[in-house]
Amino acid sequence: MGLVGAMNERFLKACRREAVDCTPVWFMRQAGRYMPEYQAIRAKHSILEVCKTPELAAQVTLQPIERFSLDAAIIFADLLLPLEPMGLRFDFEEGEGPVIHNPIRDRAAVERLRVVDGGELDYVADAIRQARRALAGRVPLIGFAGAPFTLASYAIEGGGSRHYIETKQFMYREPEAWHRLLDKLARVVTGYLRHQIQAGAQAVQVFDSWVGCLSPDDYAEYVLPHVRVIFDGLKHEGVPLIHFGTGTATLLRLMREAGGDVIGVDWRVHLDEAWEMIGHDAAIQGNLDPVVLFAPLHEIERRVEEILKRAAGRPGHIFNLGHGILPNTPVETVAATVELVHKLSQR
């Protein structure tokens, strides 16, 4: 890698709970619809075209890095990509989110799913290599994948969901097929993330975005063992592993048990209380409500200060939102929030 200047190590240090000069910050979906330069690319290319064209994916990955003082980049990709080589066909319908044309509704459909290795998603690895080169060591690059439950919920519902009725019904009525499905997903995700790390991802995040719809007992029984497979499978890869979900206030201990060096938490729980539940032998990432970025700056400042106060300068805090940046978020506010985090957390 042709390094230009010193690498910004804040993010990786915080993942390892080492002291940093100020709190690192990055945002989920920091490359996204709220940015005019992203929209310019999307005017010419679909989401899947961007994902599958490493030059474009790398270019979009760098857009927020060029514009803001973020401490990490995250590869541009979509959670659903691994489902395609497994045998599911999907599209993104404008404003509607993903639509899977052959959702999983029975055991036979689970049996038909192929357990692919990361190789079938080489375009993501290529994008990672290109993004690493373009970043030239400025900030570390994060890889990511969906967690088995969240991927299963898309695969079974056929898209996003409000109540996850089909997903839970499958889980309750076909527990064996459910475990078989999550086992397949866990193995695919593990291989996919390993490929991302080998291609240059310097940390990886597992997104269990929708797991907060489950009771703690259902999480422990139907989900945790499969998430553990992923974290156990990656723990000797030498990069920090981030485990993220939303609505997880009552699942945090179990998520930590499943694995992850860093646990991501949303705004529904106080950061210090979440950290207490997770244990101080793990790092924590969060936890500003993404809608706060629509507030006036003095309100944002008040909330950033509160989060930093609850982190109490303890090594191992990575500032982030509790979920992805929303479309229509003002770009200036994103810039100002990054500056605020750095300024208010100066050691």
> Could you say whether residue 249 binds its own copies (CB under 8 A)?
yes
Size of the site for its own copies (CB under 8 A): 34
Output 71 or 266, the one with its CB closest to its own copies. Answer: 266
Please choose, out of 66-74, 85-93, 110-118, 164-172, the segment that lies near its own copies by the rule CB under 8 A.
Answer: 164-172
In angstroms, the CA 144 to CA 104 distance is: 23
| CB-based burial label for 216 (10 Å; 0-12, 13-18, 19+) | middle
Site for its own copies in 273-302 (CB under 8 A): 273, 289-292, 294-296, 299
**What residues pair up with 204 in beta bridges, in sequence order?**
143, 241
Told to check if 99 binds its own copies by CB under 8 A, we report no
Per the residue annotation, which of 17, 38, 71, 154 is the catalytic one? 154
Tell whether the torsion through CA atoms of 195, 200, 202 and 204 is positive or negative.
Answer: negative
**Cβ–Cβ < 8 Å for 87, 72:** no
The tokens of 4 are what? 């230009």
332 forms part of the interface with its own copies (CB under 8 A): no
- Binding of its own copies by 65 (CB under 8 A): no
89 is catalytic: no
Looking at beta carbons only, is 129 or 270 nearer to its own copies?
A: 270
Nearest to 150 by CA among 125, 185, 193, 195: 185
Q: Segment contacting its own copies (CB under 8 A): 7-15, 56-64, 113-121, 157-165?
A: 157-165
Establish whether 29 is a catalytic residue. Answer: yes
Helices marked H in the chain: 10-15, 36-44, 47-52, 54-67, 83-86, 107-112, 122-135, 148-157, 165-173, 175-199, 216-218, 224-234, 252-258, 271-278, 297-311, 331-344
Q: Which of 10, 17, 29, 132 is catalytic?
A: 29
Q: Which of residues 202-221 bind its own copies (CB under 8 A)?
A: 212-218
Which residue numbers are catalytic?
Answer: 29, 33, 42, 78, 154
Which residues contribute to the site for its own copies (CB under 8 A)? 163-165, 168-169, 172-173, 212-218, 247, 249-250, 267-270, 273, 289-292, 294-296, 299, 303, 306, 326, 328
